[in-house]
Amino acid sequence: MHAGVTYLQVQLKGALMLAVVLSGLLGISSMTAYAGGVFITGHDPDYHAIAGGNTLGAQHIIQRAVVYVTFDKPNPKILLVTDVRNPGGDQIDSRLGMTAAGFSFDVADYGSGTSGVLDLHTVNFNNYDAIVVASDSGGWLRQDELDILNARATELIDYVNTGNRGIVGFNESGNRPGGPGIYTGTTHNRYGFLPFLVSGVGFQQPEVGITLTAAGEAIGLTNTDVNGNAAHSVFTATGGMDIIDVDSSGQILSLATRKFITPQGVADHFKCYEAQGEPVNVIVDLQDQFGEEPRVLVGKPKLFCNPVDKNGEGISHPTLHLTCYEIEADNEEERNVIVKNQFGEQTLKVEKPKLLCVPPQRPSSSFR
């Protein structure tokens, strides 16, 4: 026991804490440390790849979205999440749209037991390079599948953060035209498998005057791709993701990111300052993706880190500051970590952990 030391048991893991424990970038021995991708849209290209005034544009949206989230992997293995029951009305099986876009794929639904269709409750996401979620207006997605995806949100966030793979999600709006025998679409918790995207709102409109942003152009889309059909939902907040296209009134139609994501949104950049203060003298048990380390002494604060807007990319969590403390850890195993980020790719030699970075208990700080 250390005199004057407080003993706590703390287990740190998960997407946010990977950035907090500075030694714990990812994995063991030699690994990669970069995120996958997410592309979410209010368009329903799985429908319009077959029907509508611009089938080629809709097919191109699907193609570029999959290329984006898989980092242009040849022949990616895709899981399409859709119901296989025809909802009635003017809807098209999303499997047809994906096929028209040139992809082969496995299918998972709510657990219907249909031959050749996987059970979404148990399917292993890690077997796939991309998970494509069908639209619920135009396509065949139902609340049954959405509820399962939402229940597995933590797994899906971890799936994306593992890197080089990702999620494509089409329109979720619940605004299918109703009528006898017609299933009108999802009813609640839309896009809940990405908890920070609680801002999806059903909004049906013709695709006229839709414009791409620079981020949309960088993905490889054109203004021709996103006009000429119909869109069914918009987003009122971004969760830190990049805006891909907007409608004629400036409402957001599509979002994308290749950054690490957390239940609160896209992870921020941080600008760190030297800091001085009294040692906290706390003993903690730490667990990251390099393993467990018990009874680590936390000492003096050394850095104070602010979320920072780099090159106009925005800040997702402006009040989430980090305070980084010296730690006395016994783990001296060296590891090679391949880091791929906005500055390029490089191999880092990761040695003994030096700092433990701690977020605030409340999303606020006082300065004077």
- Answer yes or no: are the C-beta atoms of 247 and 234 closer than 8 Å: yes
Same domain, 50 and 181: yes
Q: Give the pLDDT mean for 147-159.
A: 95
Q: Are strands 242-246 and 211-212 parallel, antiparallel or unpaired?
A: antiparallel
Whether the per-residue pLDDT at 9 is higher than 60: the answer is no
The values of phi and psi at residue 149, to 5°, are: -60, -45
In a domain, 1, yes or no: no
Same domain, 93 and 138: yes
**Which of 92-106, 133-147, 257-271 comes out lowest in average pLDDT?**
257-271
Same domain, 311 and 236: no
Same domain, 61 and 116: yes
Cα 49 from chain centroid? Answer: 25
Confidence of residue 367 (pLDDT cuts 50, 70, 90): low
The values of phi and psi at residue 214, to 5°, are: -60, -35
Say how far apart CA 301 and CA 190 lie, in whole Å.
42
Same domain, 271 and 234: no
The domain boundary residue, chosen from 239, 258, 277 = 258
Same domain, 251 and 338: no
In a domain, 222, yes or no: yes
Distances 41 to 26, 87, 172, 201, 221 between C-alpha atoms, Å: 30, 21, 9, 11, 13
Q: Which residue has the tokens 């979002």?
A: 255
Determine the Cα angle at 83 with ends 77 and 89, to 5°.
130
Same domain, 160 and 107: yes
In a domain, 136, yes or no: yes
- The SS3 assignment for 95 reads helix
Q: How many helices (H) and strands (E) does the chain have?
A: 7, 22
Whether the per-residue pLDDT at 289 is higher than 90: the answer is no
The values of phi and psi at residue 336, to 5°, are: -100, 130
How high is the pLDDT of residue 156?
Answer: 96
Encode 24-52: b = buried (16+ Cβ within 10 Å), e = exposed.
Answer: bbbbeeebbbbbbbbbbbbbbbbbbbbeb
Same domain, 270 and 229: no
Same domain, 254 and 319: no
**Tens-digit pLDDT profile for residues 158-208:** 999 888 899 999 999 987 767 777 887 899 999 999 987 756 788 888 999
How high is the pLDDT of residue 339?
Answer: 76
How high is the pLDDT of residue 34?
Answer: 56
Same domain, 134 and 68: yes
In a domain, 368, yes or no: no
How high is the pLDDT of residue 335?
Answer: 87
Expressed as residue numbers, the domain containing 23 is: 6-33+265-358
Q: Give the pLDDT mean for 40-46.
A: 97
The domain boundary residue, chosen from 194, 224, 258 = 258
Distances 167 to 18, 21, 49, 68 between C-alpha atoms, Å: 21, 27, 19, 10
Which of 46, 48, 42, 41 has its CA nearest to residue 229? Answer: 48
The domain boundary residue, chosen from 227, 258, 289 = 258
**Which of 21-25, 111-115, 254-258 comes out lowest in average pLDDT?**
21-25
- Strand ranges inside 219-290, DSSP E: 230-235, 242-246, 252-257, 261-262, 265-266, 269-274, 282-288
In a domain, 301, yes or no: yes
**Which of 112-121, 139-148, 265-274, 306-315 comes out lowest in average pLDDT?**
306-315
Q: Which residue has the tokens 């997605």?
A: 141
180 or 128, higher pLDDT: 128
How high is the pLDDT of residue 328?
Answer: 87
Is the C-alpha dihedral spanning 332, 337, 341, 346 positive or negative?
A: positive
Q: Which of 55-64, 229-238, 284-293 has the highest mean pLDDT?
A: 55-64
Q: Which DSSP helix (H) or strand (E) runs through 38?
A: strand 37-41
Same domain, 204 and 247: yes
Which of 4, 24, 28 has its CA nearest to residue 13? Answer: 24
For 153-156, the CB contacts below 8 A with 24+ separation are 153/192, 153/193, 153/194, 153/195, 153/263, 154/263, 155/125, 156/125, 156/131, 156/193, 156/194
- Answer yes or no: are the C-beta atoms of 170 and 134 closer than 8 Å: yes
How high is the pLDDT of residue 229?
Answer: 96
What tokens does 182 get? 């017609």
How high is the pLDDT of residue 37?
Answer: 93
Same domain, 58 and 131: yes
Residue-averaged pLDDT of the chain: 85
- Answer yes or no: are the C-beta atoms of 185 and 177 closer than 8 Å: no
In a domain, 348, yes or no: yes
Say how far apart CA 29 and CA 285 lie, in whole Å.
22
- The SS3 assignment for 226 reads coil
In a domain, 121, yes or no: yes
In a domain, 365, yes or no: no
Whether the per-residue pLDDT at 262 is higher than 70: the answer is yes
If one counts the domains in the chain, the total is 2
**Which of 17-21, 177-181, 185-189, 353-357 comes out lowest in average pLDDT?**
17-21
- The SS3 assignment for 79 reads strand
Beta-carbon contacts of 1 under 8 Å, excluding residues fewer than 6 positions away, are: 7
Whether the per-residue pLDDT at 105 is higher than 80: the answer is yes
